[in-house]
Amino acid sequence: MSDSGKSISYRAALLLDKGKTIPQSLALRLLQEARRSGFRLELVTISEEDPPRQVNLLLPLITANHSVTITIQSKKANSKEDLERLLSNGDFDIIYAEKNFIENLGEILTKTAIKVIPYDGEVAEKDA
C-alpha cells in the first residue's frame, strides 16, 4: 500500500452470504496467509449486501488482527453474470465462498478455475 512501489500481498476473493459473518477459523487462516505474504491482505468481498455491511460482516477478521495491513474492496453482485465477471477479472490467489454460494453457483465457481474453499458462515448479530 505504500507509495514506494508494488508490494507483495495475499489476494483473495470472499463470497459473503447475506447477514452471515465469517467464522473465526477463516479469519485466523486469512491472517496467517497474510503474515506469510508480507503482512498484507487484499480482500475483495462480493455479496448482495452494501459495502459497509460487507465490512461489518468481516468483524471476526478485523478484531483478530493487530499487525496485517488489510484492504477490503467491497463489490455488489446481484446476478450470476455480475459474479462471473467479478471473479474472472479479479486476479485472485484463491476464493473463499460461503457454502450457500457453492450450492447455488457451483458451476460459475468451477468456470473461474481458481481454487475455491467453502466455509460455514455464522448469522451476524444486529449492529450497535
Among 11, 14, 22, 74, binds another protein (CB under 8 A): 74
Among 19, 28, 33, 55, binds another protein (CB under 8 A): 55
Quick one: which segment of 14-22, 57-65, 90-98, 115-123 binds another protein (CB under 8 A)? 57-65
Quick one: which segment of 15-23, 48-56, 85-93, 101-109 binds another protein (CB under 8 A)? 48-56
- Angle CA(8)–CA(61)–CA(124) in degrees, nearest 5? 145
- Find the shortest distance in angstroms from Cβ 6 to another protein: 11
Using DSSP, state whether 69 is helix, strand or coil.
strand
**Alpha carbon separation from 83 to 63, 67, 97 (Å, rounded):** 28, 31, 12
Query: Can you tell me the distance from the alpha carbon of 52 to that of 33, in angstroms, rounded to the nearest whole number?
Result: 24
Check if the beta carbon of residue 78 is closer than 8 Å to that of residue 100: no
Q: Does 118 bind another protein (CB under 8 A)?
A: no
Q: Does 52 bind another protein (CB under 8 A)?
A: yes
Among 33, 69, 108, 112, binds another protein (CB under 8 A): 69
CA atoms within 13 A on the CB side of 8: 7
- Find the shortest distance in angstroms from Cβ 34 to another protein: 8
Quick one: which segment of 2-10, 78-86, 93-101, 107-115 binds another protein (CB under 8 A)? 2-10
Query: Can you tell me the distance from the alpha carbon of 124 to that of 49, in angstroms, rounded to the nearest whole number?
Result: 13
